[in-house]
Amino acid sequence: MKYYIIAGEASGDLHGSNLIKALKNKDVNADIRCWGGDLMQDAGGTLAKHYKELAFMGFLEVVANIGTIFKNISFCKKDIQLFNPDVIVFIDYSGFNLRIAKWAKQEGFKTNYYIAPQIWASRESRIEKIKSTIDKMYVTLPFEKKFYEEKHNFQVNFVGHPLIDAIHNTPKINEVAFRKEYNLDLEKPIIALLPGSRKQEVSKMLTVMLSITSDFKKYQFVIAGAPSLDLDFYNPFLKNSQINLISNKTYALLQASHAALVTSGTATLETALFKVPQVVCYKGNWISYQIAKRIITLKYISLVNLIMDKEVVKELIQDDLTTANLKKQLTKILEPKHRVELLDNYDLLEKKLGGKGASENVAELIYTNLNK
């Protein structure tokens, strides 16, 4: 069978790589072409476009790069036609993927969606487009099945969350060796800084994260560098600083960390599953934020709180993300009593997400449906 998979971000590259491995286990003749990154390529996919060329964040940033986006859409359609897959699998990245799905359905291609568009957060009206363009949907958050089926009469499959597998399959580090390899202090507890993966968000987040480091002398701060960003990009933030940067080793870093400051997104869930107490941070372009808060109706922005339906981790959003507030909340999660409560909630969170096997579940469903 021929599979065309489209992922547009680092998290999609991770989940796409595990899906490719699972598909190849199911289908020894699988021919897979993809949009993604190094992980999907290493797993056996033929890379058509790297996600580094696709990472635009926020309303204004999208508008500023609209020409590039339309060129990518045009290229994608032509590339699909040339490859002529048996099925197209969309992974997250809904703004782009739903455009391609509409066209693909009209062209007669089978359309599957893995890691569903978050229409429960905003623009719920997109459900009609999804119902008319997506043949099969595989959801990864427990509340999504009820949302799609009971509220919108659209049948979906809950497959579990792929992060459970990704983290379970991550090799356990030798912490002493890890610290020595990256010239980290062997005694001081590590506080990880996860400022995101796009230039726009890192520029906003890292400055305020670094502003509190001098107040926590007993700890060492380490920045998790994104695989999509070069070292040169981080250098201005590291001038006159003793802060370490470790690129493309976020999971290893989280295993060694005592606490973390995390930009809202998939990383909040990853940090929770590694059982690291965290403060969730977000600050975007002012105009983009003003638009977003008028169309997003959620009580929380972090996946941890959304899944648990309560405030498990503190969220500092936009004007609340200040040096004073960040210092206060980090101090709180370093206190033993609060840490115990937080870790207990993390255990409940993992149970809610289901067990291992999301990638295998999706691969089985895709392959079985193709052979019906």
295-304, Cβ contacts within 8 angstroms, sequence gap of 24 or more: 295/122, 295/123, 296/121, 296/122, 297/121, 297/122, 298/120, 298/121, 301/264, 302/264, 302/268, 302/269, 303/141, 303/266, 303/268, 303/269, 304/268, 304/269, 304/272, 304/280, 304/346, 304/349
User: pLDDT tens across 46-55, in order?
Assistant: 999 998 876 5
Q: Where are the domains positioned within the chain?
A: 2-160+357-371, 168-352
Q: How would residue 297 be classed by pLDDT, with cut points 50, 70 and 90?
A: low
What pLDDT does 293 receive?
53
pLDDT surpasses 70 at 201: yes
Q: How would residue 64 be classed by pLDDT, with cut points 50, 70 and 90?
A: low
What pLDDT does 367 receive?
97
Q: Which of residues 299 and 92 earns the better pLDDT score?
A: 92
Q: What is the mean pLDDT of the chain?
A: 91
342-346, Cβ contacts within 8 angstroms, sequence gap of 24 or more: 342/277, 342/312, 342/313, 343/275, 343/277, 345/308, 345/312, 346/272, 346/273, 346/275, 346/304, 346/312
Average pLDDT, stretch 69-95? 94
Protein fold of 2-160+357-371: Rossmann fold (3.40.50)
97 touches 6 (CB < 8 A): yes
User: pLDDT tens across 345-368, in order?
Assistant: 999 999 999 888 999 999 999 999
With CA atoms as reference, report the closest residue to 285 among 57, 29, 35, 41. Answer: 57
User: pLDDT tens across 324-338, in order?
Assistant: 999 999 999 999 999
pLDDT surpasses 60 at 170: yes
User: pLDDT tens across 247-296, in order?
Assistant: 999 999 999 999 999 998 889 999 999 999 999 998 865 555 555 555 55
Burial of 155 (0-12, 13-18, 19+ CB in 10 A): exposed
The angle subtended at Cα 356 by Cα 351 and Cα 360, nearest 5°, is 145
Q: Which of residues 296 and 211 earns the better pLDDT score?
A: 211
Q: Which of residues 51 and 86 earns the better pLDDT score?
A: 86
**What is the dotted CATH code of the domain comprising 168-352?**
3.40.50.2000
CA–CA separation, 23 vs 365, rounded Å? Answer: 10
pLDDT surpasses 70 at 28: yes
CA–CA separation, 210 vs 214, rounded Å? Answer: 8
Portion of the chain with pLDDT greater than 70, in percent:
92
